[in-house]
Structure formats: structure tokens, C-alpha cells
Amino acid sequence: MPQLSTSSKLRLAECHPDLQGLVETAITQFDFAVVCGHRGKMEQDAAFDFGKSKVQFPNGKHNSIPSMAVDLCPYRDGKLQWGDREAFCYLAGLIKGMALAAGLKIRWGGDFNRDGNLHNDRFVDSPHFEIEA
């Protein structure tokens, strides 16, 4: 059974308890890594500068304590699977289904506009999951 690494656990500990519960349950079904929890000013500014975020500090969901967002990446064959779109979609379905069952509203960065069409978003951030207000 997959389990979170020590570094994934540390990143997850920076996140909202609802996200922690979802991730801890999801890892029992599918292998992935927690690549980002909280982001401070320098990390958020770098993410913005490199085009990995559309918002500057302190406006990102990763910028609060606890973080209202988490970034996850599928893990297989001893490495992160950044280019595996199908694995990201599977992980998103798993997380979103678990969130629905728990009564939580989760927004996935692979479908920011939430219309179910994975080909029409201007900005795609497949690792990103955030709690909706």
C-alpha cells in the first residue's frame, strides 16, 4: 500500500486539516507525493515569476497558515510523473470524489473553471487542489 514520505508528511502538516484528511485517505488508494503545502513570500513570488501561479503573495491559497491548497504529483517507478496527464486526472477524480463524500468543496487546478472540459482553461495547474469558500 502506498504511503506518504517524510517530506510529504511535513508539507501536508502545513495544510488545512480538511486537506490533510483527504490526502491521508487518498494515499491508501493511489501513490503520489505532496510537493507543496504552505508558500511564503519568496516561494509565491518565484511561482508567479515562473508562470506557475497567477497570483502574487499574499493572495494565493498556499499563502495562509494553514494552507488552503496543496499540490500533489503522481508517483510511479521511483519518480514523480509530471507529464502523466491521465494519472493527474485519476488523482483529481479520487480527491474530488472523496471531498464530495465528506461534504467538502474542492477546486482542482486541472479544471479551474469547473466546467468538466479539461481543454478550455487558459491556465492549467494539474497538481493544485484548493478548498473553496
Count H helices, E strands: the chain?
4, 5
Over residues 71-118, the pLDDT tens digits come to 999 999 999 999 999 999 999 999 999 999 999 999 999 999 999 999
On the question of pLDDT at 133 being above 90, the answer is no
Domains and CATH numbers, the chain: 6-131 (3.30.1380.10)
Q: In terms of DSSP bridges, do strands 106-108 and 79-80 run parallel, antiparallel, or are they unpaired? A: unpaired
Shortest CA distance to 70 belongs to which of 28, 24, 101? 24
Cβ atoms of residues 80 and 74 within 8 Å: yes
Q: How far apart are CA 79 and CA 39, in angstroms?
A: 23
C-alpha cell at 128: 493544485
Q: How far apart are CA 2 and CA 112, in angstroms?
A: 28
